[in-house]
Amino acid sequence: MKVWVYGNDINTDMLFPGKYTYTCSKPEEIKPHLLEDLDPEFAEKVRPEDIILAGKNFGCGSSREQPVVGLKATGIQAIVAKSFARIFYRAAINQGLVLIECPGAKESYRPGDIVELDLDNDRINVGGKGFLFPQLPPEIQEIRAAGGLLSYTRSKLTAAKEENE
């Protein structure tokens, strides 16, 4: 497992350049361009179970959701950051990509540290030090548990329809 470490204000153009916005929307089209201007190694070497560890305001900029769709498709466990930009945060909830806001985790990380995530207990261990992160509100947990907003919406609509029939 690799920890990909980035700084503050990683914007959506760094995550997925705007020039591809209207030509790529499928995960397999997006993946090769992820972080291409910032870290050309990422798209090629990222593996499921990896973690991204970043500073504040991760995902700022455009509302384009390709960065979220692409990152979700890499299978990474989570993005842990000091803070996230709000549209990116919502988009991640809607796609079922796990984001964790935990300033302490980023600050205490030293190269080579092992990072372990325990989503059931809202806990992250960095180089042996444990940090708790805030639980999501129940409404949001419901969306995450359904695997994202579209499956959540689908099941609600289907249930409502069945009730009417």
Partner 1 sequence: MKPPETFAQKILRRKSGNSVVPGQIVTCHPDRLLMHDNTAPIIAKVGKELKQFGLADPNLVVIVLDHVIPAASEKVAASHKKIREFVRKYGIHNFYDIGTGICHQVMVEKGLVVPGMLAVGSDSHTCSYGAVNAFATGIDRTEAAALLLTGKTWFRVPESIKISLTGQLNEMVTAKDLILTIINRIGASGATYCSVEFWGDIVNLTMDDRLTIANMGVEMGAKNAAFPVDNVTENYLESIGVLPDLYEPVWADQDADYKQAFTFDMAEIVPAIAAPHKVDNYRPVTDLIGLRIDQCLLGTCTNGRLTDFEIAGRILKNRKIHPSTRLLLLPASRNVLNQAMKKGFIQTLVQAGGVLLPPGCGPCLGAHQGALAPHERCLSTANRNFKGRMGCKDAEIYLASPATVAASALFGKITDPRKI
Q: Which stretch binds partner 1 (CB under 8 A): 42-50, 107-115, 117-125, 134-142?
A: 134-142
Binding-residue pattern over the window 37 to 56 for partner 1, x denoting contact by CB under 8 A: xx-----------------x
Q: Is 147 in the site for partner 1 (CB under 8 A)?
A: no
Choose which of 61, 100, 106, 117 interacts with partner 1 (CB under 8 A). 61
Closer CB to partner 1, residue 139 or residue 163? 139
Element (H, E) at 88: helix 86-95
Q: What is the helix, strand, coil percentage profile of the chain, to 5? A: 45, 20, 40
Closer CB to partner 1, residue 1 or residue 157? 157
Element (H, E) at 106: helix 103-108
Q: Is 149 in the site for partner 1 (CB under 8 A)?
A: yes
d(CA 110, CA 127): 8
Query: In whole angstroms, how far apart are CA 117 and each of 47, 94, 111?
Result: 16, 21, 17
Choose which of 35, 95, 124, 131 interacts with partner 1 (CB under 8 A). 95
Torsion of CA 46, 48, 89, 6, to 10 degrees: -30
Residue type for position 95: Q
Q: Is 87 in the site for partner 1 (CB under 8 A)?
A: yes
Q: Is 74 in the site for partner 1 (CB under 8 A)?
A: no
Give the E-state strand segments of the chain in sequence order.
3-5, 51-54, 78-81, 99-101, 115-118, 123-126, 129-132
- The residues that touch partner 1, with contacts defined as CB under 8 A, are 8-9, 11, 13-14, 17-19, 21-23, 25, 37-38, 56-57, 60-65, 68, 83-87, 90-91, 94-95, 137, 139-140, 148-150, 152-154, 156-157, 161
